[in-house]
Amino acid sequence: MKPATLEFVKQRFMEYYRRQNLIPPSSLEQREWGFVFFDASTDIRMRRHMAFIDPQELTAYVKSLVPAHVYYSTAYYQTPAASTMAEKHWAGADLIFDLDADQIVRGPYALMLARVREETVKLVRMLIDELGFSKNHIRVAFSGGRGYHIHVTDIAVRGWGGPERREIVDYVCGIGIDPEVMLAPRAPSTAWRRRYTGVLRDHLTWLAGLEAEEAGMYIGELGGIGKKAGQEFFGNLERIRRGSPSSLLQNRVARAIMDSPGFASRVRDAGARADEPVTTDIKRLIRTPGSLHGGSGMRVVPLDIRDLADFDPLIDAVVFGEREVRVDMKMNFTTSLLGSTYTLKAGPANVPEALAVFLCCRNIAEIAGGV
């Protein structure tokens, strides 16, 4: 950012923090805090290993220094302000899921936000309906950028280490699924068995719809499958599809399909697209609800589960107004904000303040006339 742009964004953030407070987590005094501040340089450094004894001390710090990003630890520590992790003395951590639109779909910002919200709703339902977590122990927040965070605060999970958290994220993401378990004859119906057989049925339907030559090429790329076996499989595909799912375990081509990366990707799509390293990290820092995201200017919004399906970040997470601001666009850009769509060309443009903050934070525009 140019100095004038940096000052414009910082002033807007300052105005916001003058009238709004952060929403502190439970056991605030046991959390480590980290901050990234506005700086004209491109070298972003976090000031961390900090702690606050109460919300008033935290609020005073934020209002005084006006950070661009505010984070707190998902972990609880005996001494959160200690300068090394060992000296902090870990005392447990919430179970966290991070869903980022960049890992799910690429396209217009509004499309990405809509898609990641769908994945978040799916994951919340899995946590409640399949893993048995109480909705009273689940907190959801829009990240202020491209996704959502889900916090499971049940004290029963607080002492889990990385391996236990890995099992949970593997389950919701559909990682490491064994076809022998999913397709076992007379096995009780479970959510993942229904998902897996549905994905397999859809995949075989897709394969049956290909031309023989195209299907042959696909099957030929599977490991260890010869041309003759592939042709025989494709020729009998209708009969194979009508058979029991468990019979596919004895079919060499079907097993090769289930072991292929393309099929694994379909299975992953049936699960939830959570960021695995975030969930397994027992010492993670995460954005604070009520803070502003320095990369978008939007608010990190805590959400009730009931409100998630109707939440629109491009309206509900926007905190600045419609006062006209002149910016200098670095490129052509189209986006939606506050219920309107803006198509801007490279060069000077007059835009609402809320959009100006968004564009400047995203490094798509500078304040016009600034040096």
Domain definitions of the chain by residue range = 1-20+319-371, 21-174+274-309, 179-270
Greatest pairwise CA separation for the chain in angstroms = 74
CATH architecture of the domain covering 1-20+319-371? 3-Layer(aba) Sandwich (3.40)
Reply yes or no on whether the pLDDT at 108 is more than 60: yes
Res 225: pLDDT = 79
pLDDT-based confidence at residue 226 (cuts at 50, 70, 90): confident
Q: What is the mean pLDDT of residues 48-73?
A: 95
Sequence-distant (6+) residues with CB within 8 A of 98 are 143, 147, 148, 149, 274, 275, 278, 279, 286
Token readout for 296 is 């978008």
Does residue 312 carry a catalytic annotation? no
Reply yes or no on whether the pLDDT at 10 is more than 70: yes
Reply yes or no on whether the pLDDT at 186 is more than 80: yes
Q: What is the mean pLDDT of residues 48-69?
A: 95
d(CA 92, CA 81): 16
Please name the residue ranges forming H helices in the chain: 3-19, 55-65, 85-88, 109-129, 162-173, 179-182, 191-208, 212-220, 227-235, 237-242, 252-258, 261-270, 276-280, 313-316, 353-361
Model pTM?
Answer: 0.89
* pLDDT, tens digit (0-9, with 9 covering 90-100), for 305-338: 999 989 999 999 999 998 999 999 999 999 999 9
Considering 39, 54, 94, 98, which one is annotated as catalytic? 98
pLDDT-based confidence at residue 223 (cuts at 50, 70, 90): confident
Considering 39, 43, 54, 100, which one is annotated as catalytic? 100
Q: What is the mean pLDDT of residues 243-250?
A: 86
Token readout for 76 is 């609880």
Reply yes or no on whether the pLDDT at 40 is more than 70: no
Res 217: pLDDT = 84
Considering 269, 275, 312, 328, which one is annotated as catalytic? 275
Q: Is 370 exposed, middle or buried (0-12, 13-18, 19+ CB in 10 A)?
A: middle
Sequence-distant (6+) residues with CB within 8 A of 2 are 366, 367, 370, 371
Res 61: pLDDT = 96
Reply yes or no on whether the pLDDT at 369 is more than 80: no
User: Side-chain half-sphere of 13: how many Cα atoms within 13 Å?
Assistant: 31
Topology annotation, domain 21-174+274-309: DNA primase, PRIM domain (3.90.920)
Token readout for 360 is 């400047």
Res 45: pLDDT = 78
Does residue 269 carry a catalytic annotation? no
* pLDDT, tens digit (0-9, with 9 covering 90-100), for 355-368: 999 999 999 999 98
Does residue 39 carry a catalytic annotation? no
* pLDDT, tens digit (0-9, with 9 covering 90-100), for 248-289: 888 888 899 999 888 998 999 999 989 999 999 999 999 999
Closest residue by Cα to residue 69 from 43, 41, 102, 44: 44
